[in-house]
Amino acid sequence: MNKTDIAAVLTDIGTLLELKGENPFKIRAYQAGARLLEGLEEAEIAQRVEAGTLEEVKGIGEALAQKISELHRTGRLEFYEKLKATVPEGLVEILSIPGLGAKKVRALQEKLGIDTIAKLRAACADGKVAALEGFGEKTQEKILTGIRNREAYGRRHLWVKAQEASAPILAGLRQLADAEQVESCGSLRRRMETVGDLDFLVATTNPAPIVDWFVAMEGVQEVTARGESKASVRLQSGLQADLRLVPPEQFVFALHHLTGSKDHNVQMRHRALARGLSMSEWGLFPADEKHGSTAEAKKHGGAGPKSLKAKTEADLFKALDLPFIPPELREGRGEIEAAEAGQLPRLLEESDIRGVFHNHTTASDGHNTLEEMAAAAEKLGLEYLGIADHSKSSFQARGLDEARLEEQVEQIRKFNAAKKSKTHLFTGTECDILPDGKLDFSKTTLAQLDYVVISVHSSFRQSREDMTKRIVRAMEKEHVTMLGHLTGRLLLEREPYDVDVDQVIDAAIANGVVIELNASPMRLDMDWRHWRKAAEKGLLTSINPDAHRTTQLEYFKLGVGIARKGWLTKEAVVTTKPLAAMKAWLAGRK
Ligand code: DGT
Ligand code: CA
Ligand code: CA
Ligand code: ZN
């Protein structure tokens, strides 16, 4: 087992012990052990396991050392397996509801016998939870909201997860001899921030073996539908995947139809009708024949009017007098009008990005050191990497105080002066916006940095008015370069805090502050729906991975997808500036 997996087991053990009400010191030892392990090099762990010297690491006692070794060697841990068997699975699930810590979960179990979400919902509905000591009406209401959100969100999946599930299926389908063309369509292709199900499309003259492969492929939990030219399965991950098979001459029409969105399709169909054409997933036909009968005839291979031919989607758009509309824009939000007027934006591309800001290191709550982050950024070919560890008020994230920040700045200066890396480091901070809109650092402290990200990490429940005022006030302060994760949302988990986004956008423009596009897969914040209008008004953005480990630097690519979905061009994104221009731009803002 590698260190990340071992650390995950240790964290799990801490949680399970907490649910059992074990000694807090013991619990903390596992949580601390997990963090410690993350900070060690993979090679060092292997060598210490081999030599039996794990205990020499400060913070790792005998019991922990033995468990880490067992996991490292065998990938299993007897103690963990036994422990898991003693805690009902439902309790762990309940723990994932916001606002319920281990102590409360235990109280629910001991006093009301609750060990599943269903029992918890029933008890809330009966008002039994509110009556418990330490709970009350408000908590009960919050729990019910949490359960409802869980159910509503349970049906969708983060784009990254859908992408990870889709990639091997796509590759598998492409290897099949009978598959002439294969694409993944739907919301995944449109780069929606969350995905309901996967939609695969295959062009073939021999569908049977492809259906056979699809329903029997690895990872299929259940086959929910199966026919001659389509199939649906539920994957072990909980995702549903649809497969459609069409004759090669229909591929482009089906591709466009299945990519959607529904709104875009409806508008395209109207446009076709206005040109005397009837458009469907089967083709583009002269409209004098009734749409339905044409489609039916085509579907059953009967003789009907012939469809116009299209080899690519560009051909299809051209048949309706339009330039190619990138899938990200196909949401029925004005893309067809813009295309007709020749005003489609030239969308940002991954290769336009020269660097990233807003990244964490082990100095606060990151898992990799400054040097490791820099090396990873260099590997990605990034010209610059902005460091922005948390500030002192974020004590849960081990935020830096003035002295530690100064030390880090010194460390970064030395790193840059050594000229060993092709990637330049910028000094920065992710400075807390305090509840009243003041900043966590004074302007003298901020003035020493290359750039400043400001973010809300506390008092999420302020009224819309207070929250808006708070953020606007903070943006008006000197030395502020960009606003971090504008709404604080965690996709499928936590609602955004209540804030007037339009007002914040206007204030950002007025104060020359950048609003980041936080590219962490659970955030993707500010939402893509706001960017088009905001950029037209003059707002600039920076695509920030908010990386807490080296592997997360690549999140900027997800951000590029969302930026494209938000109609953004290279000009709207400051991180497309080459290093020299970026240095000058930052210096000019001092
Ligand atoms: P999802 O799966 O909820 O994230 O969203 P989509 O967009 O992938 O939707 P899905 O999987 O239900 O259907 C795939 C595409 O098929 C959709 O984007 C457009 C097309 N489509 C599905 N149902 C309809 C419909 O009733 N009318 C039209 N015009 N197109 C549809
Ligand atoms: Ca879908
Ligand atoms: Ca579907
Ligand atoms: Zn943050």
Q: Is pLDDT at 288 greater than 90 in this prediction?
A: no
From 187, 259, 263, the mutation candidate for ligand 1 (largest count of ligand atoms within 8 A of CB) is 187
- Ligand 1, atom 30: nearest CA belongs to which residue? 262
CA of 262 to the centre of ligand 2 (A): 11
Closest residue to atom 2 of ligand 1, CA basis:
196
Q: What is the mean pLDDT of residues 156-178?
A: 96
Residues surrounding ion ligand 2 at CB below 5 Å = 186-187, 197, 199
Q: What separation in Å is there between the alpha carbon of 201 and the centre of ligand 3?
A: 11
Relative to the CA of 260, which ligand 1 atom is closest?
A: 18
CA of 265, nearest ligand number: 1
Q: What spacing in Å lies between the alpha carbon of 490 and ligand 2's midpoint?
A: 21
Lowest mean pLDDT among 19-33, 299-313, 490-504: 299-313
Peptide bond preceding 279 in cis form (omega within 30 of 0): no
Q: What is the pLDDT of residue 327?
A: 98
Average of per-residue pLDDT across 199-219:
97
pTM assigned to the model? 0.79
d(CA 122, CA 132): 14
The pLDDT of residue 48: 93
Specify the residue with its C-alpha closest to ligand 1, atom 8. Answer: 186
Ligand 2 centroid – CA 287 distance (Å): 29
Identity of the residue numbered 582: M
Choose which residue among 243, 261, 269, 328 to substitute to test ligand 1 binding: the one with the highest number of ligand atoms within 8 A of its C-beta.
261
CA 332 / ligand 1 centre spacing (Å): 13
Rounded CA separation 441/41 (Å): 33
**Cβ proximity of 136 and 130 under 8 Å:** yes
pLDDT surpassing 90 at residue 237? no
> What percent of the chain is modeled with pLDDT above 90?
81
State residue 181 phi and psi, 5-degree precision: -145, 140
Q: Which residue, by CA, sits nearest to atom 18 of ligand 1? A: 260
257 CA to centre of ligand 1 in angstroms: 8
Which tens digits make up the pLDDT trace of 371-413? 999 999 999 999 999 999 999 999 989 999 999 999 999 999 9
pLDDT at 174: 98
Query: Is residue 538 pLDDT above 50, yes or no?
Result: yes
Give, using CA atoms, the residue closest to atom 1 of ligand 1: 196
Mean pLDDT to the nearest integer, 285-314: 69
Convert the pLDDT of each residue in 115-159 to its tens digit.
Answer: 999 999 999 999 999 999 999 999 999 999 888 877 766 779 999
pLDDT at residue 345 is higher than 70: yes
Pairing of strands 424-426, 384-386: parallel
C-alpha distances out from residue 218 to 159, 165, 214, 234, 494, Å: 21, 11, 9, 11, 32
Instruction: Dump the DSSP string for 163-192.
Output: HHHHHHHHHHHHHSTT-SEEEE-HHHHTT-
SS3 string of 432-495?
EECCCCCECCCHHHHHCCCCCEEECCCCCCCCHHHHHHHHHHHHCCCCCCEECCCCCCECCCEC
Q: In whole angstroms, what is the distance from residue 198 CA to residue 186 CA?
A: 7
Residue type, 281: E
pLDDT at 289: 54
Cα of 403 from ligand 3 centre, angstroms: 54
Q: How far is the CA of 199 from the centre of ligand 3 (A)?
A: 5
Q: 225 has which bridge partners? A: 232
Q: Which pLDDT belongs to residue 271?
A: 97
Mutate to test the pocket of ligand 1, among 192, 240, 265 (most ligand atoms within 8 A of CB): 265
Give ion ligand 4 contacts, CB < 5 A: 455
- Residues whose beta carbon lies within 6 Å of some atom of ligand 1: 186-187, 192, 195-197, 199, 257-258, 260-262, 265-266
Element holding 142 (H helix, E strand)? helix 136-154
Secondary structure in 3-state letters for 27-64? HHHHHHHHHHHHHCCHHHHHHHHHHCCHHHCCCCCHHH
Q: Is the pLDDT of residue 292 over 70?
A: no
Average pLDDT, the chain: 93
Given pLDDT bands bounded at 50, 70 and 90, which one contains residue 590? confident
Tokens 């060993």 correspond to 420
Question: From CA 147, how far away is CA 133, in angstroms rounded?
Answer: 21
- Distances in Å between the Cα of 378 and the Cα atoms of 308, 355, 382, 438 are 49, 10, 6, 35
Q: For residue 211, report the distance from its CA to the centre of ligand 2, in Å.
A: 18
Q: Residue 239: helix, strand or coil by DSSP?
A: coil
CB neighbour list of residue 30: distance below 8 Å, 6 or more residues apart: 10, 11, 13, 14, 17, 64
Residue of 201, 230, 262 to mutate, ligand 1, most atoms within 8 A of C-beta: 262
Query: pLDDT band for position 426 (50/70/90)?
Result: very high
pLDDT digits (tens, 9 = 90+) for 95-114: 888 778 888 999 999 999 99
